[in-house]
C-alpha cells in the first residue's frame, strides 16, 4: 500500500504545522534538545498531496487568527459597518488582476509557464470584482466613486500593501498564499450571513453582489479548490513559501478583524479544521496565542 504523504512547514520560530494526507493536522513545537531525533526540524523536501496541503494552508489560517477571540467584542452589524466593509472589499479587489498579471509575467521570465498560466487564469477570474463592490455602494445610495477615492478603512491598507509587495517580489510565489487566505475565509460565509446583510438594507435594495460572489454561494469555493490542487502540485520549497505567506496574511487579516465583512467568516474559522480528528498534541485545534 502506498504510504500517506506527510507535509510540514515551520511558520513561526516555535510552531510548525504538520499535516497528513488523511486530513490530520498537528501544531508542533520543535524542541532544541531533540533536534537530532525530530524529523520535522528540517524543511520538508517531498511531494505534496491535496489532503495534506489543505491541512497546512488551513492550519496556517487558524494559527494566524489564534489570538483573536480574546479581544473581540461583537456589536450587532449595522448598515454603516457594512458600507465600510464594501469599501474595504473594493480596495482589496481593485488591483488584484493587475498584481496577479505582474506576478505571472515574472514567472514567465523565470521559465515557469505553469505558474504563470495559473496566475493569469486567476487574474481573469478576479476581473470586475471591484465593480461589484461599486454597484453595491451605488445601490445603497452612496456616492461610490467619491467614497472609495477618499476613504480606506482601517486594517485594509496593510492587506493591500502585503499583496502588492508579494506580487512585486523577484520570486512572487507567496502571492498565492495571500489569495488563498482571502478566498478561503470568504468561502466560509454562509447564506445566513448574506441574509443578515439583506435585513440591514432598505427594502428592494440589492447590495450583496460582492458578498454573494465572495461566499460559499459564489465562485470562491471553486477558486479555493483549484488553488489547493495547484499548490499541492508545487515543489516542497514553493509549498513552504505559500503556507508561510498564508500565515502572514492571516495575521494581517486578524488585525483588521473589526472589519465587518471578516466577522462572520472569522466566526466560522473553528470549522476550518473541525473535520479533522482531534486527539493528540494540539491536533486539529487552535493553539492558544
Ligand atoms: Fe474576488
Ligand atoms: Fe476569487
CA of 126 to the centre of ligand 1 (A): 5
C-alpha cell at 274: 473541525
The number of the ligand nearest the C-alpha atom of 122 reads: 2
CA of 189 to the centre of ligand 2 (A): 13
The number of the ligand nearest the C-alpha atom of 225 reads: 2
CA of 103 to the centre of ligand 2 (A): 16
CB under 8 Å to 18, separation ≥6 — which residues?
A: 6, 7, 8, 25, 26, 27, 28, 40
Q: Which residues of the chain have pLDDT under 70?
A: 1, 32-36, 69-75, 257-289
Burial class, 226, CB count within 10 angstroms (exposed 0-12 / middle 13-18 / buried 19+): middle
CA of 214 to the centre of ligand 1 (A): 6
pLDDT computed for residue 159 by the predictor: 93
CA of 146 to the centre of ligand 1 (A): 22
Q: What would the 3-class secondary structure string for the chain be?
A: CCCCCEEEEEEECCEEEEEECCCCEEEECCCCCCHHHCCCCCCCCCCCCHHHHHHHHHHHHHHHCCCCHHHCCCCCCCHHHHHHHHHHHHHHHHCHHHHHHHHHHHHHHCCCHHHHHHHHHHHHHHCCHHHHHHHHHHHCCCCHHHHHHHCCCCCHHHHHHHHHHHHCCCCHHHHHHHHHHHHHHHCCCCHHHHHHHHHHCCCCCCCCHHHHHCCCCCCHHHHHHHHHHHHHCCCHHHHHHHHHHHHHHHHHHHHCCCCHHHHHHHHCHHHHCCCCCCCCCCCCCCCCC
pLDDT computed for residue 71 by the predictor: 55
CA of 267 to the centre of ligand 2 (A): 20
Sheet holding 15-20, edge to edge: 6-12, 15-20, 25-28
In whole angstroms, give the CA distance from residue 123 to residue 116: 10
pLDDT computed for residue 70 by the predictor: 56
The number of the ligand nearest the C-alpha atom of 128 reads: 1
pLDDT computed for residue 289 by the predictor: 26
pLDDT computed for residue 275 by the predictor: 40
The number of the ligand nearest the C-alpha atom of 219 reads: 2
Place of cell 461599486: 134
pLDDT computed for residue 154 by the predictor: 83
CA of 66 to the centre of ligand 2 (A): 24
pLDDT computed for residue 277 by the predictor: 34
CA of 130 to the centre of ligand 2 (A): 12
CA of 275 to the centre of ligand 2 (A): 23
CA of 214 to the centre of ligand 2 (A): 7
pLDDT computed for residue 288 by the predictor: 29
Ion ligand 1: residue ranges with CB closer than 5 A: 126, 129
Amino acid at each position: 500500500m502506498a504510504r500517506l504523504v506527510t507535509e510540514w512547514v515551520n511558520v513561526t520560530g516555535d510552531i510548525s504545522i504538520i499535516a497528513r494526507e488523511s486530513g490530520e493536522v498537528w501544531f508542533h513545537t520543535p524542541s532544541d534538545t531533540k533536534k537530532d531525533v525530530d524529523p520535522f526540524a528540517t524543511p520538508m523536501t517531498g511531494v505534496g498531496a491535496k489532503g495534506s496541503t489543505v491541512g497546512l494552508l488551513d492550519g496556517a489560517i487558524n494559527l494566524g487568527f489564534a489570538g483573536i477571540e480574546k479581544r473581540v467584542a461583537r456589536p450587532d452589524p449595522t448598515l454603516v459597518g457594512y458600507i465600510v466593509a464594501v469599501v474595504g472589499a473594493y480596495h482589496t479587489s481593485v488591483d488584484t488582476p493587475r498584481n496577479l498579471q505582474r506576478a505571472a509575467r515574472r514567472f514567465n521570465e523565470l521559465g515557469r509557464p505553469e505558474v504563470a498560466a495559473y496566475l493569469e487564469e486567476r487574474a481573469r477570474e478576479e476581473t470586475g470584482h471591484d465593480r461589484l463592490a461599486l454597484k453595491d455602494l451605488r445601490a445603497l445610495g452612496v456616492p461610490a466613486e467619491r467614497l472609495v477615492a477618499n476613504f480606506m478603512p482601517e486594517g485594509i491598507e496593510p492587506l493591500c500593501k502585503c499583496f502588492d509587495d508579494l506580487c512585486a517580489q523577484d520570486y512572487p510565489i507567496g502571492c498565492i498564499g495571500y489569495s488563498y487566505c482571502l478566498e478561503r475565509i470568504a468561502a466560509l460565509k454562509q447564506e445566513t450571513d448574506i441574509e443578515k446583510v439583506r435585513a440591514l438594507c432598505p427594502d428592494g435594495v440589492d447590495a450583496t453582489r460582492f458578498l454573494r460572489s465572495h461566499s460559499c454561494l459564489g465562485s470562491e469555493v471553486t477558486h479555493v479548490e483549484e488553488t489547493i490542487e495547484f499548490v499541492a502540485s508545487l515543489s516542497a520549497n514553493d509549498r513552504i513559501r505559500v503556507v508561510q505567506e498564508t500565515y502572514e496574511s492571516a495575521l494581517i487579516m486578524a488585525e483588521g478583524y473589526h472589519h465587518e465583512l471578516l466577522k462572520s467568516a472569522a466566526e466560522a474559522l473553528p470549522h476550518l479544521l473541525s473535520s479533522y480528528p482531534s486527539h493528540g498534541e494540539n491536533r486539529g485545534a487552535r493553539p492558544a496565542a
